[in-house]
Amino acid sequence: MDINQQNKATARALWAALDADPASAVPLLSHVAHWQGPAPVGLQTSGAAIVERMFAPFHAALEGLTRQTHIFTAGVSQASEAGTGDGAYWVAGTGYYTGRATAPVFGIPATDTPLRIRWGEFLRFDAEGRITHAQTIWDLVDWLDQIGHPVLPRPRGAAHVFPAATAYDAVLHDVQDAEETAASMALGRGLIFGGLNSFDKADLKSMGMADYFHPNLKWYGPGGIGACLSLAEFETLHQQPWLIAFPDRKVMHLESLFAEGRIVAASGPMGVVAHQTGPYLGHAPSGKPVDVSGLDFWLRTGGQFTENWVFVDMIHLFAQMGVDLLAKVGADD
């Protein structure tokens, strides 16, 4: 079994343990040095700490908690712009949890509402197959919107849209074709380092998004932004207001960028850096520097990406802009 397949088996075992009894997962996390959880959890520096402060309270608060996995992938990262490759091994997944929050958690009140809580997670492994670093984002803004506590204006895109891949099984348990993987990696690197980072601060066309995204792109954004169901919607409903707010944004501190088959995945707690010099989602310019904690998954069809699942830690982003979104809820932890 190759190392990516071994790491996938460990990831499956970890998630099964976390879903059944979070404490039982601690032995699998004995080499964790850095786990970036979503705000308000933040950075934890041991497996025991991330279980105690994130997974255990989440598990205790959610009755009938069930994980659905829509994408499952692994690979060796090439996150540097120079293209030399950083050689790190990663496994990533996304989907949603279902359940009912019968107790408050993370500043979110209890409710009888059936929930679909979007999750994304990246696990880094060392050469011995041990988890050493990780990043998790749960879409808390979308969760709050589902229970009638919106903390941001109604999204410009479609709310609560985060499906599995279209006409493709993106749960990649088996080894994928090497040529497909190479084509996906080339397109992903082109999009990030040749497209997104080429914005001239004036014209969206300067990034050449039409070279990377199909006209019927499905872009599944986080709570507060929503889903865009074409390239034109992506440009007008998300990209334009985002670049008005953060015109100097640059992708530069990715922790991972890898491909497997037709899937590309990228992560970074500070994967994008910028200054908020324009208004954003009803909030005035702060002039403050921000780093964007985000996760991305793309599906390549032919020579273009046709779907993109996007996570942004909006609680963390707005905190840097001087806005405490959870304080708007007024719930106890």
- Spatial separation of the C-alpha atoms in residues 266 and 257, rounded to whole Å: 4
Q: Does residue 332 sit in helix, strand or coil?
A: coil
- In the predicted model, what is the mean pLDDT of residues 24-35? 98
* Cβ neighbours of residue 288 closer than 8 Å, sequence gap 6 or more: 275, 276, 320, 321, 322
- In the predicted model, what is the mean pLDDT of residues 263-285? 96
pLDDT at 269 over 70: yes
- What digits encode the pLDDT tens for the residues 70-86? 999 999 999 988 776 68
- Exposed, middle or buried by CB within 10 Å (0-12, 13-18, 19+), for 34? middle
- Name residue, tokens 């849209």: 161
* pLDDT confidence tier of residue 135, bands split at 50, 70 and 90: very high
- Spatial separation of the C-alpha atoms in residues 44 and 39, rounded to whole Å: 11
* pLDDT confidence tier of residue 332, bands split at 50, 70 and 90: very low
- Spatial separation of the C-alpha atoms in residues 111 and 4, rounded to whole Å: 40
Give the domains, in start order, of the chain with CATH numbers. Answer: 3-146 (3.10.450.50), 178-328 (3.10.450.50)
- Spatial separation of the C-alpha atoms in residues 85 and 78, rounded to whole Å: 4
- The residue among 308, 187, 185, 265 whose CA lies nearest residue 8 is 265
- Spatial separation of the C-alpha atoms in residues 1 and 173, rounded to whole Å: 12
- Spatial separation of the C-alpha atoms in residues 141 and 77, rounded to whole Å: 29
- What digits encode the pLDDT tens for the residues 169-214? 999 999 999 999 999 999 999 999 887 766 556 556 666 888 999 9
- Spatial separation of the C-alpha atoms in residues 294 and 136, rounded to whole Å: 9
- In the predicted model, what is the mean pLDDT of residues 282-298? 97
* pLDDT confidence tier of residue 68, bands split at 50, 70 and 90: very high
Query: What is the enclosing helix (H) or strand (E) of 76?
Result: strand 62-76
- Spatial separation of the C-alpha atoms in residues 242 and 224, rounded to whole Å: 12
* pLDDT confidence tier of residue 333, bands split at 50, 70 and 90: very low
